[in-house]
Amino acid sequence: IDLVRVLGIDYYNEEFILSALYNSSQGADPEGGSGESVVIEGRGRSVFEAYENIKQKNKKTISLAHTGYFLLGYNAAAKGIDKCLDFLSRDETIKMESLIFVMKYMDAMEFIKNGIENEQVLHEDLEAISQKQQEVIKRNDNNLVNILNEMEQSHSAVLIPYILSEEDSFSIAGYAVFKDYILTDYLDEDTSNGVRFLKNIIRRYPLLLSSEVGLLLTNINTKLSSSLDNKRITVMIEMDYESAIKEVTAEQDVFSYEMRNKLTEEQNQAILELISKPINYMMTTGNDIIGLARLIENDHVREWGSLKENWSELIFDIKYQYVIHSKIDKSFIMGNERGEK
């Protein structure tokens, strides 16, 4: 049996193209051997038909039971994630914790083949990057079960992290935005980080202030709540976090009372500007990228029936209020008096 580790989904000329990556020496042992990476392609009018085509072409039985990563090519994402993921959601062998990524202006097939040419063990590299992400975020928001859950609220956009491929490496750069299941945009890194703050999934965040002080924000918690006044929606954003001084490159007493207050104001302003980026994006595009529709629906169950009818207009008139609680802790200094009197 060949156990697929990575499955790419592309769309060209009215057909879906699947690229299944597995190791040639696996046999019946999912961890065995050190053989070469093999990719087999299948084509069909749907993802299901393309997968059946792979099963017919491959010499051995092929399985998606161990597939940890599904990559959506640019054209497939533009076709619609509903058409890409429906088959996966109905296959009882597929792991619901498998991660979904979108390629930025690139085919999944090309990305997979480039990885083989560069002698990369692609599923291990994807796993390493995903584990590295866990240092920054509290949980993966792009596993299959979460994406399917997000798709149920049709009034909000669905966000999926996108992969930015370079010559011999790749990185997770931000979120791809899906409106009505169709790829509409790629968010930049700052806007994506602002989304993570507002969704309360960010674990730690480094911040360099204009006063040449580097901070590390931790214990970050964000709570969103809403109120309703004659169909006028107000969203309250309450944030709590702590920060530690990690670097001081200017000659100043950063631990004085006045300077600590200045740094606190500066860091709060920087975070406010960061979380304002996704809000400004929503005010410009009308795309709900932070799940406000679900928040309003949960907070105002009775009223949601009438609100959702005009949601595309109401989202532009939402009022936002901010409350930020923060604290700057001292950091340990050894053999360096910079920043102290």
pLDDT in tens, 66-117: 999 999 999 999 999 999 999 999 999 999 999 999 999 999 999 999 988 8
Reported as a pLDDT band with limits 50, 70 and 90, residue 34 is low
Task: Report which of 163, 105, 88, 168 is spatially closest to residue 133, judged by C-alpha positions.
Answer: 163
State how far the Cα of 91 lies from the Cα of 155, in Å rounded to an integer.
26
Return the SS3 of 81: helix
Reported as a pLDDT band with limits 50, 70 and 90, residue 337 is very low
State how far the Cα of 329 lies from the Cα of 20, in Å rounded to an integer.
49
pLDDT(335) > 60: no
CA distance readout (Å), 191 to 84, 188, 210, 276 = 26, 6, 20, 8
Per-residue model confidence (pLDDT) at position 24: 77
pLDDT(134) > 70: yes
pLDDT(339) > 50: no
Sheet holding 99-103, edge to edge: 37-44, 15-23, 6-12, 69-72, 99-103, 158-165, 170-179, 182-186
Reported as a pLDDT band with limits 50, 70 and 90, residue 341 is very low
Q: What's the whole-number mean pLDDT along residues 293-316?
A: 94
State how far the Cα of 63 lies from the Cα of 66, in Å rounded to an integer.
7
pLDDT in tens, 196-233: 999 999 999 999 998 899 999 999 999 999 999 988 99
Q: What is the DSSP secondary-structure string of 260-325?
A: HHHHHHHHHHHHHHHHHHHHHHHHHH----S-HHHHHHHH-HHHHHHHGGGHHHHGGG-EEEEEEE
pLDDT(333) > 60: no
Residues, the chain:
341
Share above pLDDT 70 across residues of the chain, in percent, rounded to a whole number:
93
pLDDT(195) > 70: yes
Reported as a pLDDT band with limits 50, 70 and 90, residue 332 is low
pLDDT in tens, 229-268: 988 999 999 999 999 999 998 887 877 888 888 999 999 9
